[in-house]
Structure 1
């Protein structure tokens, strides 16, 4: 499915950003990939990314856990890639679905060191989320069918930063029950990791025909994917935020975009520029660079003509 291709590319890009940071922070780390009745092709791609960093793994221990059921060719496929990896990388293929992830992570000694987890098709149970949260730091990619929000469960599990997005192949009104695609959440404690995820999100997907939808958008609009996102939908979300909370600085609105929408901080600056040009919002001071300390508020409606 096109959504699986997007998820695989997101995993590859996130791993490529995560692994150097993990190498810098610790002498050991764990990559956990758990699939519930889904194509585990992303595991092959992930191991190839690890191989690209082979020259930096000396003196480091990377454990790769792959949990999957029903893919009889997976051990042979991964074995072929594993044979090209340095001795510092240990790959363990564990039969079973993501429900076994807590036990597998405990056996691997993943707690207390960098941990990147992909759980595809997994129910976000407290046990699974607690296991994924046991890394220091911990990053989690969670993919389920479109439906109930994932953010509340991830907040309850202690992830400080969460992003949610629906990956749609046939966009329909949200809540209709006819969605075709995935709901994807990324949970982390790192602004840098969240920004890397958002950058990857907007760099992939367009060529596959997949469109995105922000689960927080009450109108459930599907948006096209491009490296430079259409600022219109974000502009509406920024206006709604100003209506809810009153005047906000540019820094606060950029952070709102990063942490509460499917957009990036840089997208907020472009959206605000458009709103200012249209006279929909006002700024203080009224002129100069649109810096982080500039205060933005909804523009006062024009009074009746004299």
Structure 2
């Protein structure tokens, strides 16, 4: 469990850092709702922006536990019992933890600029807008990390942070949608075999399409980043599994690919 928690914390902290930077560039500000055990980590993130908090609306809401000490000046902090009744306006990022998180996801993701990160035991789930990845330990124990958003740019950011985390011993990623359940090491240059198979299957459904369309598919339907699609397709072309037009040069978003 320690390895799972370390990866969850690293991903959450990295994304919260990017989210906070954007919130401070916006007049709407933002609210972070912590329903797990990462409130102290959130305070450390906000502390890195202490020189920019004055004059901005940035709030931390801690649900179900006491607010830790050490809030930087300019950050609004409060405790709450129910995340569904906070009276928040503007962008909201919520972290939900545990199996009891699932009934809350729809309520907390509802509204423009509302996003949710869920950390929970692996099991049945459905993500309509976002990304789900299993964190699998050496003993086979799996935890689920889910990011729910309607903003594709934020999804790109989350996936960039997902693959940029430190590689913790014994934890690998698995795409819940991968029928073969291949485990992939955490790396900035990950193994692309599961993605390659997914792209070939998508080409089987589409017939042919542009690289850009497959990059969009990669963003929405896999645990990978859009740029990973280029590497997976390049290797598939080299292996003769995929045709391309034009036949020469590097793959670009406009290149049309198909099955032989």
Q: Do these two structures clear the TM 0.5 threshold for a shared fold by scoring above it?
A: yes
- How has the CA–CA distance of structure 1 residues 171 and 244 changed in structure 2, closer, same or farther, with 3 Å as cutoff? farther
Q: Deviations over 1:139-177 (max 9, x none)?
A: 2101221111231xxx3xxxxx311100111364xxxxx
Q: Compute the TM-score of the two structures, normalised by the length of structure 2.
A: 0.93
Higher share in helix: 1
* Equivalence for 1:50: 46
Query: Aligned runs of 1:93-112 on 2, under 5 Å?
Result: 93-94=79-80, 100-103=82-85, 105-106=86-87, 110-111=88-89
Q: What's the secondary structure of 2:84's corresponding residue?
A: helix
Root-mean-square deviation (CA), in Å? 1.7
Match of 2:97 among 106, 117, 120: 120
- State whether residues 91 and 112 of structure 2, in contact with CA within 8 Å, keep that contact through their aligned partners in structure 1: yes
Q: Which has the larger radius of gyration?
A: 1
Q: What's the secondary structure of 1:31's corresponding residue?
A: strand
Structure 1 residue runs without a partner (length 5+): 156-160, 173-179, 300-306
Query: Aligned runs of 1:29-68 on 2, under 5 Å?
Result: 29-35=30-36, 40=37, 42-68=38-64
- State whether residues 63 and 90 of structure 1, in contact with CA within 8 Å, keep that contact through their aligned partners in structure 2: yes
Structure 1 residue 237, shift from structure 2 partner: 1.0
* Equivalence for 2:181: 220
Q: Deviations over 1:239-297 (max 9, x none)?
A: 11111222121001111111110000111111111111111100012123311111111
**2: CA distance, partners of 1:171 / 1:218:** 20
Query: Aligned runs of 1:74-223 on 2, under 5 Å?
Result: 75=67, 78-79=68-69, 81-82=70-71, 85-86=72-73, 88-94=74-80, 100-103=82-85, 105-106=86-87, 110-111=88-89, 113-121=90-98, 122-125=100-103, 128-151=104-127, 155=128, 161-170=129-138, 172=140, 180-223=141-184
- How has the CA–CA distance of structure 1 residues 265 and 171 changed in structure 2, closer, same or farther, with 3 Å as cutoff? farther
* Equivalence for 2:23: 22
Q: What's the secondary structure of 1:163's corresponding residue?
A: strand
Structure 1 residue 131, shift from structure 2 partner: 3.3
- State whether residues 130 and 146 of structure 2, in contact with CA within 8 Å, keep that contact through their aligned partners in structure 1: yes
Q: What's the secondary structure of 1:2's corresponding residue?
A: helix
Aligned pair count?
258
- How has the CA–CA distance of structure 1 residues 129 and 207 changed in structure 2, closer, same or farther, with 3 Å as cutoff? closer
Structure 1 residue 134, shift from structure 2 partner: 4.1
Structure 1 residue 8, shift from structure 2 partner: 0.7
Structure 2 residue runs without a partner (length 5+): none
- State whether residues 109 and 148 of structure 2, in contact with CA within 8 Å, keep that contact through their aligned partners in structure 1: no
- How has the CA–CA distance of structure 1 residues 162 and 27 changed in structure 2, closer, same or farther, with 3 Å as cutoff? closer
**2: CA distance, partners of 1:197 / 1:171:** 27
| Structure 1 consecutive aligned stretches of length 4 or more whose deviation exceeds 4 Å | none
